[in-house]
Chain A
Amino acid sequence: MYGKGLRPLSAITVAAVALTLAAVFFWAPNDAYLGFLQKIFYVHVPLAIVTLGGFVAAGLMAIGHLRTRDPRWDMRSYVAIHLSLIFGIGVLITGSIWARGAWGHWWVWNEPTLVSFLLVMLLYATYQPLRFAIEDPERQARYASVFAITAGAFVPINFLIVRLAPAYVHPRTLDNISGNLPGRMQVVFYLAMISTTLLWITLWKFEMTAKHVAAQLRQLRRLLGDEDDDVPARRSAAPSLTHAGSAG
């Protein structure tokens, strides 16, 4: 049962997100230097950190797949990357909005977080085409896992290296903000981190459950053996859970 625990998890997530939003707008003080604009960073930075964590987690799940050859690990890795890509789009858009507000441009090259992020997104955007280009499901899963591990290793390394580029020798703005925060801001930031992480996990579990339901329905259809309903399997980039598994 993939859905076990999903209900209490989503309840906790709702509470956490609501509490965070209230704290951001009613409790956290305005930054003396950046003013009200600084509030963006409570949504942008946690999204970024959770996205990257998601990509790394997907790499770890892919290691699990290669070691056990259990397709469920591949499914977990696939959903993790899928979800992190969506969160990543949010990071780029909110980052762009922040750049516009702070620097007047919709994109800036002097913010290493944004630049590393663009790179990571460009890399993971190839995940789906890669999967789609391999028909055999077992090989598709295996190659996807190799990619997920390589890319997962790339994420932290890339972040470190981009900061070494000559352009970033001088202090950055977004990092400076998240570095040493005064009291209340730090609490709210951690709150935002917790609720964004919970949100990612909830959505991940949600999608795993949905995929499992779809797989169970497919199997039910096959068991009922509808002869004239023999739908030939379409080529797909998504892994499928061909057996009813337990534990999410």
Chain B
Amino acid sequence: MPALPLHTAGPYVAAAYIVFFALILIYVAIMATKLVRSERTLGELTELVEHRRRARVEDDT
């Protein structure tokens, strides 16, 4: 098998490493989506607790 000179092999090597990064970054993107959803849920739950606390304060007065 002849040695591939740099200018022919370069794109292949670059492509392989790009694939490696792309996979990691796609994974990060998916986890980010889940994180956003968690943030939203947490916000809703916080609002729920505050709503109930306000309702209880009104009941007491």
Contacts and interface: CB of A to CB of B under 8 A. Distances in A.
Determine whether A and B are in direct contact in the complex, meaning some CB atoms lie less than 8 angstroms apart. yes
A interface majority secondary structure? helix
Interface string B14-55: 011101100110010001001100100110010011000000
Nearest to B23: A90
B31 A173 contact: no
Contact of A32 (B3, B8, B35): B3
Interface string A20-54: 01000000000111111101100110010000000
Chain B interface size, as a band, is 20 to 34
Contacts of B16: 40, 43-44, 93-94, 97-98
A57 interface: no
Interface stretch (A112-120, A140-148, A206-214, A239-247): A206-214
Interface in A171-220: 173, 199, 203, 206-207, 210, 213-214, 217, 220
A75 B32 CA distance: 20
Contacts of B6: 35-36
B42 A33 contact: no
Contacts of A86: 23, 27
A221 interface: yes
Contact of A34 (B1, B10, B38): B1
Interface of A: 21, 31-37, 39-40, 43-44, 47, 86-87, 89-90, 93-94, 97-98, 100-102, 173, 199, 203, 206-207, 210, 213-214, 217, 220-221, 224, 226
